[in-house]
Structure 1
């Protein structure tokens, strides 16, 4: 996803930073909903502790993931910087997912 955004950086800068009042204003929320659905499938398939992960937690987690991307674009991070930050975010997130899913 990060590579795709940077390949289309001008378009995503408009969507993330300048879409208020346009038909694109809800696009980010649409992406978040798609990510939530993927998280639900992932959590239901991998949960080892028998507990269902709450829908609001999945929404907040998906929204946070996209907020990272918005921050990269809005702060004009170079692609290499964004990749480095995202690598750290992945390490951080995976530790949390392992704990929540009982892996």
Structure 2
């Protein structure tokens, strides 16, 4: 967890509001600095540019999510050693609930990542998650197929399309400022819908 000075906290809070209101591209650095009561020179003592300020707001949660997401992907392979691959969908749902809690604990940061990041290195945030998921899941399916623990197949293109649709739908909760309780119910129904679809294509043994 980062430790900021009061000056940084002030810049970050005012910057967050400006980014949330106008998006990264249209956000005014001069306005942020002025409202914070500093000069541009003072700002550059903390951040090299506007994108560095944006990164200061979202970088930690984005990194944590990617790190935990990769660990979640890897944990599925543990099911093979325990001969519990039949529980794959259940494990996925458990992690989805964890991620939803994390997202809502850091809602403003994810709002920035999903809705306001155009023009930054985070502008393809959802696509980057999709790529990780498809690559690792494909490896998981191939491993199970060699062990005779899965039936069915999907093309790489279809796999990517379905995963992209799923992740986009999940983050609609953030895009539309959905209350957490409503979002949890929405996600459960969404997962049920997609899991039934996947079960018609890929069956675990």
Shorter-chain TM-score tier: 0.7 to 0.9
Cα distance in 1, alignment partners of residues 140 and 182 from structure 2: 28
Paired residue total = 101
Aligned counterpart, 1:47: 150
Larger radius of gyration: 2
Cα distance in 2, alignment partners of residues 64 and 97 from structure 1: 13
Aligned counterpart, 1:75: 176
Cα distance in 2, alignment partners of residues 36 and 93 from structure 1: 15
Structure 1 stretches lacking a partner, 5+ long: none
Aligned counterpart, 2:133: 35
Supply the RMSD in Å over aligned alpha carbons.
1.7
Cα distance in 2, alignment partners of residues 63 and 14 from structure 1: 19
Please, what TM-score do these two structures have when normalized by structure 2? Answer: 0.45
Runs of 4+ in 1 over 2 A off after TM superposition: 41-47
Structure 2 stretches lacking a partner, 5+ long: 1-98
Aligned counterpart, 1:17: 115
Cα distance in 2, alignment partners of residues 54 and 60 from structure 1: 10
Cα distance 1:82–1:42, how it changes in 2: closer, same or farther (>3 A)?
farther
Q: Which has the higher contact order (CA 8 A, sep 6+)?
A: 1
